[in-house]
């Protein structure tokens, strides 16, 4: 993609791009609504565009499917609008352009099996190419014929995006008008002679006809110098009963009642209403400009009279009327202004919450640091949710007041092979092996997933996901991580692509949330490219270092081995990274160096020592402990093994997690989980003793490849936060580890919904256990006296309340007597009710018997209906099979044209062993018709011909002769665009200037390069010659020529022709042409070299003349190119891509 912008619009922008050596126009669409429906719709539109083949339609080359679509077409030098704005057009040019556009629209309207309506005919969508000639002719090509139906996916809300100048009445009212002449301003259709000339060509679309007529009127007006008009800034459709909410420097407006031509549908919900409500109007306050943006997710149904309020970057929408009868809602939705995504927080329900209503209002409040939404009043139906106690309801009005507390219980997605690092009161978790992580080295989807950081606030226990800046590491799983100050460092890892490991080092700043690459992945120095190693931070002589040990690496394509280290699939490297200089250091290692090892834990004890435990070695899992002591140039290792006997020692394990706990008796290492070795163990580093801790559930101890973080709630209470892992237990778990004395520990689990409550409780307990100071004692005495005085006051209040209670008790006794009388009356009414109930039971039994009889009859009818349903399903399956077969046939035969649509003339362009080429007319367009001689009619040859035509129909390139279609009845007729001359004719009638030779050479090279790079298999032309290079004069100062290669789609058809034996010209054939096993794109390169020599010498060179003729070429660069193309050994010839690069440099 280049930076040259050809144009911009509501749908996106058009840039100049390079595609296989060819300059093309690349239409880059804006954000679309990613959904299965829209993906299917986009594919359908591109399939239609790929089937359209006409010289007056802009040639479609291809489109991307990843991310926002990019559509490639041929590059045209100018448009009709630009020509009209810079000057007038001669009358003959007006007629030529009118005829070209009419032919293009006629082709679309006669397209089979269904006509295609352009719906956007305008001067901006008519592109022009100078064709040379005496009058400097212009060829017109119609663009934007394949993407009209894609407009709802882009930022423009109106699917008919043309300006009102080109609109016709039925675009708005969707009905036909009586009468033909419609007046637009000062221009009348009756005044345009160009329109009457092409009236016959547009019988199928009154809309397209009127659009084209108004364009022709503008062409005629431009010839007189009257072209004018400027586009206004976008403004939203007018509306009422809506809300506009400010977030930052932007206003967000959604929904509301409208009376524009595209009225809001008076329905509960349908696709059109959903499409209208799936956009958000956004105004940038610094510029005052509005734009319309698409949203994702399902928007609310209450589109009119809703209530709205914002909290942070979220806008909340409550209730509203859905514009259908008496249908009101009490749903609550959130809209994120960063992701433009809708989320339903509370559905419409009659069970609880506010009434279903509209015209209420809502604000956001904050109480004790918590966010709430406050909702008041409203208007809605009376048959609704239960009434709120204390509220009043008058008809449809109410004065309800409700609070809503937005949920903040976000949990990160499950993962394994990750790390969680604590900095201050926050945990930072990144990467890991997650669901749907792309199995690629890198792409936009993977980068998007890895450009977020999961953050847990330890004071609240709540997770949130935050975006990061800069490029994150590629090693997303099995990396090593450690923190120094406010920076977290990430080393190595696996990028989730087969065998792809890294040895890069990145830093992440928790203040700026920015990634920075400190040391890239390289095979020249530093540690091996590896994963499941470990890393810790140390400080020696005031300098910060990172220590990296062990890991699993690939045996090949890696860095040089470290002296004295050992390597198999694992290694026991030890490297230091000095932060101040950015250098990797290989220290001197003494003592008991660990063996090659991975999936262990390396935990810092203090600034200059660490403890290594467990892991996987060549001899299996390990349970050894290593104490490592560091200087800036050396490492000393001390090994502790299981002594056996009655000594407690954990079993071997790997993929476990560890944290260090400091107590008043010294540091301790806590180990949790591991592969096939579960449990919770703690190691007293000072006394070198292990102890197993119990009473911990399996959802904590049975994990492996999980993360572990420590938070000291009080000096004697530690909370261990566990997340993720390879087992089914992957959610967040909090272990409470309490230390009393003499290595006495207790464990428990903190429920997540009691996190803050337990935190406050533990801290109150700690404060209560501390000794009281004298000044605190005086305050306690004062408060005790205050409490005693208050107690006396409460006793007096209790005596007064006792007197009141006695009076009430007397009143109660009187009421009880009244109640007994009422009970007696109730018993009489109950007796009467029992009699009525017995009567009703008798009637119910009678009706139940009748119902059973009806059920029996219904069962018989159900069996009959099931038989009918089964027969209907069988018929439906048969129809579906027929429909799939018909779709397949239609897809494979889109190139088939009827012989009745072809009008042959007597003008013969050429003859050969395969047949002859005549000028013909097809839907009003002059074309070249290749009429083949008698073929061998057989099922095999018919299928082979269809296959070749299918391939020809898929080839789209400006330097390939455009294939239009072919017949299938009788002897085949192949239709292509008509070209005025060929290279052979030009060489026979006179020479070519050097710049013309270069331009033709580049055009032919681009065409052959496109064929050679065609997917899924390359296409060999096998008949490159001057007769098969057709030319079109392009006008300009130098009289340029555009070359197009022909006969590229029928090379494999030669053996079907009775009168021809050898495919291709022998004077152009490569030495390996006789050996099919050596056929390759290099065969066309050889023929191309002969063609270059022919253009210079103006005759077809014989094989024995080539060396002498090449030596006679004066330009050294061109002589070298011809020599390399004609090398006998085909493997040494350049590719067409190399040739294109060389020619571009020469030009």
Tens digit of pLDDT for each residue in 669-719? 999 999 988 889 999 999 999 999 988 898 899 999 999 999 999 988 999
- Of 379-393, 545-559, 839-853, 1024-1038, least confident by mean pLDDT is 1024-1038
Higher pLDDT among residues 724 and 200, named by residue = 724
pLDDT exceeds 90 at position 374: yes
Task: Specify whether the CB–CB gap between 690 and 711 falls below 8 A.
Answer: no
Q: Determine whether the annotation assigns residue 1044 to a binding site.
A: no
Is CATH 1.10.510.10 the right assignment for the domain spanning 899-1146? yes
Nearest CA-CA partner of 612 in 578, 656, 648: 656
Tens digit of pLDDT for each residue in 17-63? 998 888 999 988 876 555 666 777 777 778 888 888 898 999 889 99
pLDDT exceeds 60 at position 843: yes
Percent of the chain at pLDDT > 90 equals 47
Residue 738, CB half-sphere, CA atoms under 13 Å: how many?
Answer: 11
Q: Which sequence spans correspond to the domains of the chain?
A: 5-223, 243-404, 899-1146
Residue 433, pLDDT score:
94
Count of Cβ atoms closer than 10 Å to residue 1022 Cβ:
21
Residue 470, CB half-sphere, CA atoms under 13 Å: how many?
Answer: 15
Mapped onto helix, strand or coil, the DSSP state of residue 398 is strand
What tokens does 353 get? 């919450």
- pLDDT category of residue 650 using cuts at 50, 70 and 90: very high
Whole-structure pTM value: 0.43
Compute CA distances 120 → 66, 197, 964, whole Å: 27, 21, 23
Reduced 3-state DSSP string for 643-706: CCCCCCCCCCECCCEEEEEEECCEEEEEEECCCCCCCEEEEECCCCEEEEECCCCHHHHCCCCC
Angle at 104 between CA 100 and CA 109, to 5 degrees: 145
**H or E stretch covering 1117:** helix 1116-1125
Task: Specify whether the CB–CB gap between 107 and 57 falls below 8 A.
Answer: yes
Task: Specify whether the CB–CB gap between 1027 and 1045 falls below 8 A.
Answer: no
Residue 145, pLDDT score:
72
Query: Cβ contacts of residue 813 below 8 Å, gap of 6+?
Result: none
Biggest alpha carbon distance in the chain? 136
Compute CA distances 1 → 28, 42, 127, 200, 329, whole Å: 10, 22, 21, 42, 49
Instruction: For 5-223, give the CATH class.
Output: mainly alpha
Q: What are the backbone dihedrals phi and psi of residue 402, each rounded to the nearest 5 degrees, phi first?
A: -125, 145
Nearest CA-CA partner of 1047 in 1120, 955, 1128: 955
Strand partners, 142: 57, 126
Compute CA distances 479 → 372, 721, 1075, whole Å: 41, 20, 54
Nearest CA-CA partner of 387 in 352, 346, 348, 347: 352
Tens digit of pLDDT for each residue in 789-838? 888 888 888 788 878 887 887 888 888 888 888 888 888 888 888 888 88
Q: What are the backbone dihedrals phi and psi of residue 455, each rounded to the nearest 5 degrees, phi first?
A: -125, 130
Interatomic CA distance for residues 226 and 229, integer angstroms: 10
What tokens does 538 get? 């140390």
The pLDDT mean for the chain works out to 84
Calculate mean pLDDT across residues 148-170.
Answer: 46
Calculate mean pLDDT across residues 335-346.
Answer: 89
Strand partners, 926: 921
Residue 129, pLDDT score:
85
Task: Specify whether the CB–CB gap between 522 and 584 falls below 8 A.
Answer: no
**H or E stretch covering 144:** none
**Dihedral sign computed on CA atoms, order 350, 356, 360, 366:** positive
Please give the radius of gyration of the chain, using alpha carbons only, rounded to the nearest integer: 41
Q: Determine whether the annotation assigns residue 516 to a binding site.
A: no
- pLDDT category of residue 232 using cuts at 50, 70 and 90: low
pLDDT exceeds 70 at position 403: yes
pLDDT exceeds 80 at position 518: yes
Calculate mean pLDDT across residues 947-967.
Answer: 88
**H or E stretch covering 19:** strand 12-19
Residue 383, pLDDT score:
67
Is CATH 2.120.10.80 the right assignment for the domain spanning 243-404? yes
The top-scoring range by mean pLDDT among 33-37, 365-369, 554-558 is 365-369
Residue 770, pLDDT score:
75
Task: Specify whether the CB–CB gap between 108 and 120 falls below 8 A.
Answer: no
Count of Cβ atoms closer than 10 Å to residue 51 Cβ:
18
Nearest CA-CA partner of 240 in 261, 262, 264, 265: 264
pLDDT exceeds 80 at position 625: yes
Name the DSSP class of 1043.
E
Angle at 151 between CA 183 and CA 267, to 5 degrees: 90
Task: Specify whether the CB–CB gap between 361 and 308 falls below 8 A.
Answer: no
- Of 589-603, 738-752, 1092-1106, least confident by mean pLDDT is 738-752
Residue 41, pLDDT score:
73
Tens digit of pLDDT for each residue in 999-1011? 999 999 999 999 9
Higher pLDDT among residues 709 and 230, named by residue = 709
- pLDDT category of residue 204 using cuts at 50, 70 and 90: very low
pLDDT exceeds 60 at position 211: no
Helix %, strand %, coil % of the chain (to 5): 30, 30, 40
Residue 34, pLDDT score:
58
Task: Specify whether the CB–CB gap between 481 and 453 falls below 8 A.
Answer: no
- pLDDT category of residue 259 using cuts at 50, 70 and 90: low
Percent of the chain at pLDDT > 70 equals 86
Nearest CA-CA partner of 306 in 380, 388, 397, 385: 380
Interatomic CA distance for residues 547 and 1068, integer angstroms: 67
Interatomic CA distance for residues 213 and 64, integer angstroms: 35
- Of 109-123, 918-932, 1079-1093, least confident by mean pLDDT is 109-123
What tokens does 989 get? 């009638």
Interatomic CA distance for residues 1089 and 239, integer angstroms: 68
What tokens does 765 get? 């307990």
Calculate mean pLDDT across residues 1053-1070.
Answer: 57
pLDDT exceeds 60 at position 506: yes
Task: Specify whether the CB–CB gap between 549 and 612 falls below 8 A.
Answer: yes
**Dihedral sign computed on CA atoms, order 377, 379, 382, 383:** negative
Q: Decide if 5-223 and 243-404 have a common fold.
A: no
- Indicate the burial class of 42 (C-beta count within 10 angstroms; 0-12, 13-18, 19 or more): buried
């Amino acid at each position: 993609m280049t930076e040259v912008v050809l144009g911009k619009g509501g749908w996106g922008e058009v840039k100049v791009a390079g595609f296989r050596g060819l300059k093309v126009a690349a239409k880059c669409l804006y954000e679309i609504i990613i959904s299965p429906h829209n993906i299917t719709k986009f594919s359908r539109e591109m399939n239609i565009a790929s089937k359209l083949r006409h010289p007056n339609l802009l040639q479609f080359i291809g489109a991307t499917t990843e991310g926002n679509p990019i559509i490639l077409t041929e590059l045209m030098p100018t448009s009709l609008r630009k020509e009209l704005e810079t000057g007038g057009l001669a009358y003959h040019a007006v007629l030529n352009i009118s005829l070209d556009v009419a032919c293009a629209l006629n082709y679309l309207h006669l397209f089979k099996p269904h006509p295609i309506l352009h719906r956007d005919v305008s001067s901006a969508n008519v592109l022009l190419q100078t064709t040379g000639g005496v009058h400097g002719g212009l060829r017109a090509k119609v663009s934007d014929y394949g993407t009209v139906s894609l407009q709802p996916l882009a930022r423009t809300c109106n699917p008919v995006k043309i300006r009102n100048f080109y609109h016709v009445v039925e675009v708005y009212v969707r009905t036909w008008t009586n009468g033909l002449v419609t007046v637009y301003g000062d221009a009348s259709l009756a005044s345009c002679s160009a329109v009457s000339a092409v009236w016959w060509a547009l019988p199928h679309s009154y809309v397209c006809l009127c659009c084209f007529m108004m364009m022709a009127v503008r062409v005629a007006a431009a010839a007189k110098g009257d072209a004018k008009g400027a586009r206004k800034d976008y403004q939203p459709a007018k509306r009422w009963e809506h809300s506009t909410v400010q977030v930052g420097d932007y206003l967000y407006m959604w929904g509301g009642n409208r009376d524009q031509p595209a009225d809001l549908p008076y329905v509960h919900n349908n696709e059109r209403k959903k499409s209208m409500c799936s956009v958000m109007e956004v105004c940038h306050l610094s510029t005052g400009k509005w734009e319309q943006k698409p949203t994702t997710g399902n928007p609310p149904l209450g589109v009119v009279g809703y209530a709205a309020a914002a909290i942070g970057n979220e806008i909340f929408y409550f209730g509203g009327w859905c514009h259908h009868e008496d249908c009101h809602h009490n749903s609550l939705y959130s809209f994120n202004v960063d992701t433009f995504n809708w989320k339903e927080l509370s559905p419409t329900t009659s069970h609880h919450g506010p009434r279903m209503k509209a015209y209420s209002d809502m604000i956001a409040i904050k109480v004790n640091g918590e966010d709430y939404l406050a909702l008041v009043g409203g208007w809605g139906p009376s048959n609704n949710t239960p009434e709120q106690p204390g509220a009043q309801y008058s008809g449809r009005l109410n004065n309800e007041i409700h609070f809503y507390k937005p949920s903040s219980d976000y949990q990160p997605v499950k993962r394994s092979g990750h790390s969680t690092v604590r900095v201050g009161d926050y945990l930072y978790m990144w990467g890991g092996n997650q669901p749907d992580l792309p199995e690629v080295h890198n792409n936009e989807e993977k980068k998007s997933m890895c450009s977020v950081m999961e953050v847990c606030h330890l004071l609240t226990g709540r997770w949130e996901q935050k975006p990061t800046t800069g490029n994150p590491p590629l090693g997303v799983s099995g990396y090593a991580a450690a923190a120094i100050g406010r920076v977290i460092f990430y080393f190595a890892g696996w990028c989730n692509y087969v065998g792809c490991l890294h040895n890069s080092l990145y830093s992440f700043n928790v203040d700026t949330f920015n990634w920075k690459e400190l040391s890239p992945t390289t095979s020249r120095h530093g540690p091996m490219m590896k994963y499941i190693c470990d890393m810790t931070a140390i400080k020696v002589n005031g300098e910060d270092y990172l220590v990296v040990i062990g890991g699993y690496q690939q045996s090949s394509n890696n860095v040089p081995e470290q002296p004295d280290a050992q390597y198999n699939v694992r290694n026991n490297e030890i490297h230091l990274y000095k932060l101040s200089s950015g250098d990797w250091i290989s220290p001197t290692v003494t003592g008991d160096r660990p063996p090659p090892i991975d999936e262990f834990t390396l935990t810092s004890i203090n600034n200059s020592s660490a403890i290594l435990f467990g892991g996987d070695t060549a001899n299996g899992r390990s349970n050894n402990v290593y104490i490592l002591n560091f200087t800036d140039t050396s490492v000393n290792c001390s090994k502790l093994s299981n002594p056996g006997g009655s000594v407690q020692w954990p079993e071997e394990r790997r993929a476990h997690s560890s944290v260090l706990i400091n107590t008043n008796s010294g540091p301790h290492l806590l180990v949790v989980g591991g592969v096939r070795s579960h449990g919770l163990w703690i190691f007293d580093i000072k006394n070198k003793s292990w102890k197993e801790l119990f009473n911990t559930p399996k959802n904590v101890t049975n994990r492996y490849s999980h993360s572990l973080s420590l938070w000291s709630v009080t000096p004697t209470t530690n909370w261990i936060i566990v997340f993720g892992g390879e087992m089914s237990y992957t959610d967040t778990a909090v272990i409470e580890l309490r230390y009393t004395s003499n290595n006495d520990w207790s464990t428990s689990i903190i429920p997540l919904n009691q996190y803050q409550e337990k935190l406050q409780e533990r801290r109150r307990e700690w404060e209560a256990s501390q000794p009281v100071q004298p000044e605190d004692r005086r305050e306690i005495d004062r408060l005790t006296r205050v409490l005693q005085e208050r107690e006396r006051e409460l006793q007096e209040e209790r005596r007064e309340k006792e007197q009141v209670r006695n009076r009430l008790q007397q009143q109660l006794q009187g009421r009880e007597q009244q109640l007994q009388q009422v009970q007696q009356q109730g018993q009489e009414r109950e007796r009467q009710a029992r009699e009525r109930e017995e009567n009703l039971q008798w009637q119910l039994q009678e009706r139940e018997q009748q119902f059973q009889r009806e059920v029996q009859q219904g069962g018989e009818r159900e069996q009959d209906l099931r038989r009918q349903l089964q027969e209907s399903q069988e018929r439906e399956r048969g129809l579906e099979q027929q429909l799939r077969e018909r779709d397949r046939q239609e897809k494979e035969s889109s190139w088939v044209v009827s012989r009745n649509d072809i009008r042959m003339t007597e003008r013969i362009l050429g003859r050969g062993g395969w047949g002859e080429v005549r000028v013909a007319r097809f839907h009003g367009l002059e074309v070249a018709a290749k009429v083949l001689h008698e073929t061998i009619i057989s099922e095999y040859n018919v299928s082979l011909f269809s296959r070749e035509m299918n391939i020809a129909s898929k080839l789209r390139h400006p330097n390939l002769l455009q294939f239009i279609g072919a017949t299938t009845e009788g002897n085949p007729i192949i239709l292509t665009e008509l070209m005025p001359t060929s290279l052979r004719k030009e060489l026979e009638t006179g020479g070519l200037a050097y710049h013309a030779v270069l331009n033709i050479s580049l055009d032919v090279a681009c065409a052959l390069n496109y064929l050679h790079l065609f997917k899924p298999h390359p296409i060999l032309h096998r008949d490159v010659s001057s007769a098969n290079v057709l030319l079109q004069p392009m006008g300009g100062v130098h009289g340029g020529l555009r070359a197009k290669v022909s006969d590229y789609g029928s090379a494999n058809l030669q053996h079907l022709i009775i009168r021809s034996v050898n495919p291709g010209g022998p004077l152009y054939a490569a030495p390996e042409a006789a050996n099919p096993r050596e056929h390759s794109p290099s065969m066309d390169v050889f023929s191309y070299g002969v063609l270059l020599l022919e253009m210079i010498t103006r005759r077809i060179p014989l094989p024995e003349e080539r060396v002498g003729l090449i030596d006679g070429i004066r330009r050294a660069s061109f002589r070298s190119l011809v020599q390399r193309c004609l090398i006998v050994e085909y493997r040494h010839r350049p590719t067409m891509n190399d040739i294109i690069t060389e020619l571009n440099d020469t030009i």
